Amino acid sequence: MVRTAVILGAGRGTRLRPITDTVPKILVPVRGVPLCDRIVDSLIAAGIERIVFVVGYLSERIVAHYGRHPHSAKFEYIEQVTLDGTGGAVRLALPAVEEDFLVVFGDSLFARDAVASVVDSPARTVIGVVEVPDPERYGIVTTDADGTIVDIEEKPERPASNLAIAGIYKFSVDAKRYFADLPLSPRGEYEMPDAIRMMIDDGTPVAAVTLDGMFDVGTLAQIEQLEAMDDAAFAETFG
């Protein structure tokens, strides 16, 4: 059973200015609810007992907010001073992880059953994915007939599939060594897809679990799109 989750929330959210001039990206309100609150509630509902936030920009506001949040899980915070990629954020959290764990991007809106779908998968290493009409805009996975991931590409010009990485992952505790050994990418960052490629190359089975929906909340236009959704349609997808 997975009991620990790592939420990545150190980014500045520059495309969400002026909101993020005073509000951390993961606490930007969507339909009156801070974005990450929905994630935290879903994690706790799925049985997560311990949540490690990797924070950076306006971290004190995140700590204060979740200090007031009614919850049954234990909250911990790790500061990412240098924004050196998603893999770098996970590397910082490794000393706090002693068992299988989740990694969740704190700046996305997920279908209400998404977390439970990943947690409940019998596979120990899982990537949550969603089907998209424009896969060239996303990190994409290719799977075999059994749903095991055989390749992962970042914004490919000629996508081999339409399965986009959604930002919810489950890793076995053995995955820690791949993040610890992660080399810098050509962009000068530690990137999570590179760690996953290393796992695949070593023969670690990595399963894809298709989620009912995910919405990346990265721009003001995307927030406006969510705010304009019909109440019933929003509730049906995102809870």
Question: pLDDT, tens digit, for every residue of 55-73?
Answer: 999 999 999 999 887 777 8
Say what the pLDDT of residue 21 is.
Answer: 93
Helix H or strand E encompassing 177: helix 176-180
What is the mean pLDDT of the segment spanning 91-95? 93
Query: Are 195 and 170 in contact, with CB atoms under 8 Å apart?
Result: no
Q: How confident is the prediction for the chain on average, in pLDDT?
A: 91
Say what the pLDDT of residue 68 is.
Answer: 86
pLDDT band for position 223 (50/70/90)? Answer: confident
* Lookup: tokens for 3: 């009991």
Q: Distance between CA 122 and CA 7 in Å, rounded?
A: 22
Question: pLDDT, tens digit, for every residue of 108-135?
Answer: 888 888 999 999 999 999 999 999 888 8
Which stretch of 36-45, 66-75, 146-155, 183-192 has the lowest confidence by average pLDDT? 66-75
What is the mean pLDDT of the segment spanning 173-181? 92
* Lookup: tokens for 4: 């620990």
Which stretch of 104-113, 171-180, 202-211, 230-239 has the lowest confidence by average pLDDT? 230-239
Range of the domain at 115: 4-238
Q: Distance between CA 236 and CA 239 in Å, rounded?
A: 6
What is the mean pLDDT of the segment spanning 26-52? 93
* Number of domains comprising the chain: 1
Say what the pLDDT of residue 216 is.
Answer: 82
Say what the pLDDT of residue 236 is.
Answer: 77
Instruction: Give the HSE-up count for residue 108: Cα atoms under 13 Å, Cβ half-sphere.
Output: 21
Helix (H), strand (E) counts: the chain: 8, 13
- Looking only at the bridges linking them, the beta strands covering 74-79 and 101-105 are unpaired
Portion of the chain with pLDDT greater than 70, in percent: 100
Q: Distance between CA 237 and CA 231 in Å, rounded?
A: 10
Q: Distance between CA 209 and CA 211 in Å, rounded?
A: 6
Say what the pLDDT of residue 218 is.
Answer: 83
Say what the pLDDT of residue 29 is.
Answer: 92
Residue 25's domain is classified under what CATH number?
3.90.550.10
